[in-house]
């Protein structure tokens, strides 16, 4: 990608905010997931990352960055549209990390189509499976392993509030994620487990250049925000760290917008 997204490889500096924690990050090979994984390691956490098998080389770079911080890295390739894989992913992360107390569910599927007529049933089912169904499957598998004080962070989008006409199915999933997360937060609050949502605006990630946007719009991507630019993945990392840490111990069922100034309304 040109320019190369900043996922914190050089720019993110840790402050020991997550010492000894055990995190599972989906979509951890690139974009926002990569930034969260790097930040977690630099804050003292061991990290398992999930990613599509085709992204093995990128995932190995992230693992090297995690291990450079003296933390354990676990690589779990696989497709989140499969329920059995989601269960396997959680068990592998739990066993290899020696515990699990942070779920950062970042991975998503986004395909731009200008008309509803262009959205096939296959695309619709795949988008909902990756973006929504995998949250049910992953959380259900993880709950028996999550101790009091654990945190779950899901990833919605400004698209849940201001949907673009060419992201009909994607925007629908992002609204579903908010409802899922708020209901789940209320359900598991008695267990001492918190659930919050990060809602990015336009962020410069591989999703945008691999079919997530109409390609002719890319040169001006993000320029309609009050800050007049797209965000970088590393600019999301501090929010994922905050919500994973005990600094947010009285925050649950909330949505945190990182949007460049566009309102979540």
- Bin 44: left if φ > 0, else alpha if -120 < ψ < 50, else beta: left
Helix (H) or strand (E) holding 36: helix 31-42
The structure tokens listed for 30 are 């690139």
The sign of the torsion formed by the CA atoms of 223, 258, 26, 33 equals positive
How many whole angstroms separate alpha carbon 89 and alpha carbon 83?
10
Q: Is 170 a catalytic residue?
A: yes
CA distances from 8 to 5, 11, 198, 213, 258 (A): 9, 5, 18, 24, 16
Is the torsion defined by CA of 178, 184, 203, 59 positive or negative? negative
Q: Of the listed 40, 51, 170, 240, which one is catalytic?
A: 170
- The DSSP 8-state label assigned to residue 242 in this structure reads H
Exposed (0-12), middle (13-18) or buried (19+): which is 110, by Cβ within 10 Å?
A: buried
The residues annotated with a catalytic role in the active site are 170
């Amino acid at each position: 990608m040109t320019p190369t997204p900043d996922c914190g490889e050089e720019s993110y500096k840790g402050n020991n905010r997550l010492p000894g924690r055990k995190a599972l990050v989906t979509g951890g090979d690139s974009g926002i997931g990569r930034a969260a994984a790097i930040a977690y390691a630099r804050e003292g956490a061991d990290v398992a990352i999930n990613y599509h098998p085709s992204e093995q080389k990128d995932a190995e770079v992230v693992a090297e960055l995690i291990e450079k911080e003296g933390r354990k890295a676990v690589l779990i390739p696989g497709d989140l549209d499969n329920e059995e894989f989601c269960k396997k992913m959680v068990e592998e992360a739990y066993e290899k990390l020696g515990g699990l107390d942070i779920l950062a569910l970042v991975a998503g599927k986004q395909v731009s189509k200008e008309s509803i007529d262009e959205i096939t049933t296959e695309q619709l089912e795949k988008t909902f499976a990756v973006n929504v169904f995998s949250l049910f499957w992953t959380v259900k598998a993880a709950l028996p392993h999550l101790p009091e004080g654990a945190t779950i962070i899901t990833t919605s989008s400004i698209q849940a509030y201001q949907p673009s006409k060419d992201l009909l199915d994607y925007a629908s999933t992002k609204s579903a994620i908010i409802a899922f997360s708020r209901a789940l937060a209320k359900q598991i609050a008695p267990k001492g487990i918190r659930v919050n949502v990060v809602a990015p605006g336009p962020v410069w990630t591989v999703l945008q250049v691999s079919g997530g946007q109409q390609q002719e719009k890319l040169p001006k991507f993000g320029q309609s925000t009050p800050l007049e630019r797209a965000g970088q993945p590393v600019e999301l990392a501090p929010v994922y760290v905050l919500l994973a840490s005990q600094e947010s111990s009285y925050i649950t069922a909330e949505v945190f917008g990182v949007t460049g100034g566009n309102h979540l309304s």
